[in-house]
Each structure stands twice: as structure tokens, then as C-alpha cells.
Amino acid sequence: MSASPSVCRTARGVCPATGTITALFRLLPPATLRLELSATTDAPTLMNPVNHSYWNLDGTPTWEGHALRIAADRYLPVDGDLLPTGEVRPVAGTPFDLREGRRPRPGAPLFDHNFCLADAPGPLREVLWLTGAAGLSMTLATTAPGVQVYDGNQGARPGGERFEAFAIEPQLWPDAPSHPHFPAILLHPGMVWRQVTEWRFAYPR
């Protein structure tokens, strides 16, 4: 099953080009949601669209009790404005080491960080696993080189609980124009930017 693509065109008053971004959602058997993003431009411009969906697999007031595993050995520390400092830090020995998976506690630490999956976009591969206390699991597969994880510490929606859900956002590394050693996000005319993400769901029998 697939849906018609949603197309967004940017205006020159917003960015230095006229760009077209297409988002195509597909439902794949047995229980996968697939998002195919693509973008073109008529002049050089920065391009890093992000899907900002929230996930709570138990339907409970908070995500406490969820297990989280991320196949990333580096992450991006942030400053007081939550912008990357430019350092690319190993997760080893930090609370951000989720390579073996664990059940994080709300606020210990606060999460709003990019986890570095690779130094450039690559093939579709599984990179993150989220499992609710009731057993429903979600596996994230993406071609993106990074994934931003936000724990909802300011709320996922107006009037919602703190830590209500995780925002899990496959992306190029954020604030790349300020840090030349980050993967480039410049899109040129004649190029097609593409990114594929799949959310694969399963429930133990």
C-alpha cells in the first residue's frame, strides 16, 4: 500500500533557492511504515529535512519502562542552546552509550542529541531498537548518517506530560554549516537528495 507523495516547494524569501521536497509514505507487510524523502533545487542550498515523529509504544503517560538501543559509537555534545559544540565524542563511558541497550530513566540524562551512525549517508540498515514494557517493539532502519533522540523533557505536545514520548529523527548531522567536519548538507542543481527510513514493528508471540 502506498500514498500519493506530498510535495513542498520552498520560496526564495525563505531560502536561497526554489526547492522541491517530496515525502512518500508506504505501508509494507507485515508491519512496516516506510518514508521515502527526496529533494531537488534550482540553486545551491542547504538541505536536511527531518521527520519529527514521537513514539510511546505502551500508550502510557510517559515512556518510562521502554528499552532503547542505538548502534552508534559517537554522539554530538551540545551547548546551553542545544546546538552541537562541534565535538564528536565517543559514547563509551558516558550515559549516551546505548549500544548494548538499556532502560533509561527520565531525566538521567536528558536526551536531545544527535547519535552519529556514519560519516555519510549509506545503505538502508537497522540502527535503533525501541521496546515498550508490554513487549511491542520498533526497529528503525535508515539511510541517514545520524539520528536525533529527544526524550520529550519539555513535553511532546501542549498540555502533555514531560517524557510522554521519544522523538526519533533520522537526519544528516545538525548545524553542519557551522562545522565543516560534519557530513555536508549542501544540495546543488542537477542533484537529487534522497533518504529512506523504515519503522518495523513486532510483538512477541
pTM of the model: 0.91
Asked whether residue 112 is assigned to any structural domain, the reply reads yes
State the total domains in the chain: 1
Q: By CB neighbour count within 10 A (0-12 exposed, 13-18 middle, 19+ buried), where does 158 fall?
A: exposed
The amino acid that residue 43 corresponds to is: A
Asked whether residue 1 is assigned to any structural domain, the reply reads no
Question: Residue-wise pLDDT tens for the chain (205 aa)?
Answer: 455 555 555 555 556 678 889 999 999 999 999 999 999 999 999 999 999 999 999 999 999 999 999 999 999 999 999 999 999 999 999 999 999 999 999 988 999 999 999 999 999 999 999 999 999 999 999 999 999 999 999 877 777 789 999 999 999 999 999 999 999 999 999 999 999 999 999 998 7
Asked whether residue 191 is assigned to any structural domain, the reply reads yes
Asked whether residue 153 is assigned to any structural domain, the reply reads yes
Q: Which CATH number covers residue 95?
A: 2.70.98.10
Give the residue numbers annotated as catalytic, written as ranges: 52, 169
d(CA 197, CA 27): 12
Beta bridge pairs of residue 127: none
